[in-house]
Amino acid sequence: MPFQFVYSRKDFVTDVHRSSENGLEMAHPPVEFDTTIQTGWTSRMDKGLFRYHLGDLQTRILPGQHGYVAQLNIQRGKERRKPQEILSIQQEFNAKQFNFNKINPEEIIFEMMKDCEGGNENGQLHEPCRMVVLVNVSPLEFGHCLFVPDPSHCFPQVLTRFAIQAGIESVLLSSDPGFRVGFNSLGAFASVNHLHLHGYYLNHELKIESMPVKLLVPEKGFYRMLDFPGGFLFYTESEQVEKVARDICRVTDFLVNGNVAHNLFFTRGCPPCDRIRKEEDHCSRRGVRIAVWPRISCFGAKEESAFNVALCELAGHLPFKNKKDYDDTTEKAVKDIIQRYLLSDAEFDTLEQQLTRNFMDF
């Protein structure tokens, strides 16, 4: 029986900051959530449960305004499981293909259960409340794990409100501003059609943590990111998680219904500019930024030789598959690759208008 990690709102960590020198400032010692993931992940690495041993990755910050974090991870490119054939963003779950009910049970680190303090809000009890956390046997970085909402339900890789809320809460449960969570839809380099999110630690600041934004719908806290790559942004602190998760799900449901592939990235970040009251807010990481990138769908597309454009690449973290590209790439080359997978300006503007109107009408 896996370890049961039971948490409540009281476990959310609110006093997280970055120093003005871009270092990490841990407000207090590591909390149970971090130590459970990190010790469980390390022990399974020591047992040889992974496809390869992940040591310290060669890392460099690319010169330029975006501060891309490039890492060399050749083994992941060679050893990871071959991605499933994906033909549609709404493709049904197929029990004959690999899924997370077929893993070695030893890969499970723990099960997350929220103590709902007298019941869930907004009828959330109709969705599963159990989140299984297991190691990703082809890791991107230290602590790389997968968050799988009750695997026995066999959900396809389409976000639910529960999955979004659990993703946000996982970031809030960590005292490390380097803990990130992300999601790839089908057609956006998801490799398994069984609902899951990624979580991992990256000990480098990303520009998305403080990227400027434009407020689109004040009542929903719905923003447009003003820097490359273009996308939408939500922000929440511990009190508004349920509401923000519901609003994000409204956006992702709209994208799925419109057959628009998408990636999400959840990270500690400063409040959006319209909510910053004083200089120290720029260093605050008490809340979570959730980026949503609509993008061009890739079905059976040839993979890039340097890196695939998925959740972490759009956020500015670039795991390279080979040393030549890692050594030689420039910020411009990275932007050129990413641009190939983004919607055109006209398509993005139309989508922004549709989503804004959708929120206004709700």
Q: Which residues are catalytic, by number? A: 196
Separation of alpha carbons 205 and 195, rounded Å? 28
Separation of alpha carbons 318 and 140, rounded Å? 10
The structure tokens listed for 320 are 């390279």
Burial 325-345 (b: 16+ CB within 10 A, else e): bbeebeeeebeebbeebbbee
Closest CA to 275 of 314, 227, 233: 233
Give Cα separations from 61 to 137, 229, 331 (angstroms): 26, 18, 10
Using alpha carbons only, give the angle 342, 169, 154 rounded to the nearest 5 degrees. Answer: 70
| Other residues' Cβ atoms within 10 Å of the Cβ of residue 304 | 15
Separation of alpha carbons 115 and 126, rounded Å? 15
Give Cα separations from 116 to 113, 121, 160 (angstroms): 9, 9, 18
According to DSSP, the residues that pair with 149 across neighbouring strands are: 131
CB–CB of 315/291 below 8 Å? Answer: yes
> DSSP secondary structure string, 314-331?
HTTEEEESSHHHHHH--H
**Residues 6+ positions from 85 with CB-CB distance below 8 Å:** 300
SS3 string, 162-205, reads HHHHHHHHHHHHCCCCCEEEEEECCCCCCCCCCCCEEEEECCCC
